Amino acid sequence: MAAVPVSETAPVLELRDVDASYGPFRAIFGVSLTLERGKVLALLGSNGAGKTTIARVCSGLVRPTSGRVMCDGVDVTNDRPYQFAQRGVVHAVEGRSVFASLTVEENLDLTFQRSRGRNGVREALDHAFTLFPRLGERRRQVAGTLSGGEQRMLSLARVMVEQPHLLIADELSLGLAPIVVDEVYATLAKIRDAGTTLLIVEQHVHHALGIADDAIVLVKGEVAYSGPVSELGDLQARVFGASEAHRDA
């Protein structure tokens, strides 16, 4: 798939007063955000706050009902998901996406042959096993027999090796043991250091805030805070200490 040239000066991503709905049900209300090149933005909120809806808007999976989506200074509001992908936007959705009957290496080989051709597979595999050494140790193991955390690593390796222009990471910590979450976020830090811009969607905020430059806190589909992580202050405790829980939009 041919990549679309990108601007070196415009923000990687902007939402401008975006509303989005599922049929008659509005999920987000007037959301604006700006994600600068090479930065990490943490999108935080309790269940039902609208985090996943915003992630889907940012990758073209959900089209806004109003407002604008800009990618590298270009209006992409009405673009389809494959057009976002052509711009280097990769959405790592929550959960696992592996071929259970294939080995770890076979899963990666299929992905890398498609994106890099047969001659580029070896280099891509080496990169994947550098990012996730545990996968290298299990390269001959059938993916369906891996632990849940290892399957999550495998699904992430398939997209992280390609060094996307923008990686949208949706609820990476969901259902993982703490030690595996530590490994995943250490890899995200490596991806950031290599120049990839990150939008991290999380309900469990500790790891996300550990690598983020800026944060947006959502409450019931609206922005309650937008700014540097260092200025988030006690809003974090007020929002995430609340007992009210909703199903994530």
Closest-CA residue to 171 (of 82, 77, 43, 6): 43
80 versus 236: which is more confidently predicted? 80
Domain boundaries, the chain: 13-96+164-240
Where residue 245 falls among pLDDT bands split at 50, 70, 90?
very low
End-to-end CA distance of the chain: 31
CA 195 – CA 37 distance, rounded (Å):
8
pLDDT score at 140: 96
Q: Of 22-26, 75-79, 240-244, give the range with the top mean pLDDT.
A: 75-79
Q: Which two tokens stand for residue 235?
A: 């809003």
Q: Which CATH class is domain 13-96+164-240?
A: alpha beta
> CA 83 to CA 95: how far, in whole Å?
23
Percentage of residues in the chain having pLDDT higher than 90: 58
Q: Percent of the chain at pLDDT above 70?
A: 89
Mean per-residue pLDDT for 164-193? 87
Q: What was the pLDDT predicted at 53?
A: 96
Q: For residue 8, which phi and psi values (nearest 5 degrees)?
A: -95, -5
Helix or strand (DSSP H, E) at 226: strand 222-228
Gyration radius of the chain's alpha carbons:
18
Q: What digits encode the pLDDT tens for the residues 205-217?
A: 888 999 999 999 9
112: three-class secondary structure by DSSP? helix
| DSSP category for residue 5 | P
Selected residue with higher pLDDT from 46 and 220:
220
Task: State the pLDDT at residue 65.
Answer: 97
Is-contact 68 21, C-beta < 8 A? no
The pLDDT assigned to 247 comes to 38
Residue 6 has pLDDT above 70, yes or no: no
pLDDT reported for residue 184: 84
Mean pLDDT of 63-70: 98
Q: What is the pLDDT of residue 242?
A: 47
When pLDDT is cut at 50, 70 and 90, the band that residue 249 belongs to is very low
Instruction: Judge contact between 62 and 20, C-beta under 8 A.
Output: yes
pLDDT digits (tens, 9 = 90+) for 88-131: 999 987 666 789 999 999 999 998 888 788 788 999 999 999 98
User: Cα–chain-centroid distance for residue 204?
Assistant: 14
Q: Is residue 175 predicted with pLDDT exceeding 80?
A: no
Question: What is the per-residue pLDDT for 179?
Answer: 85
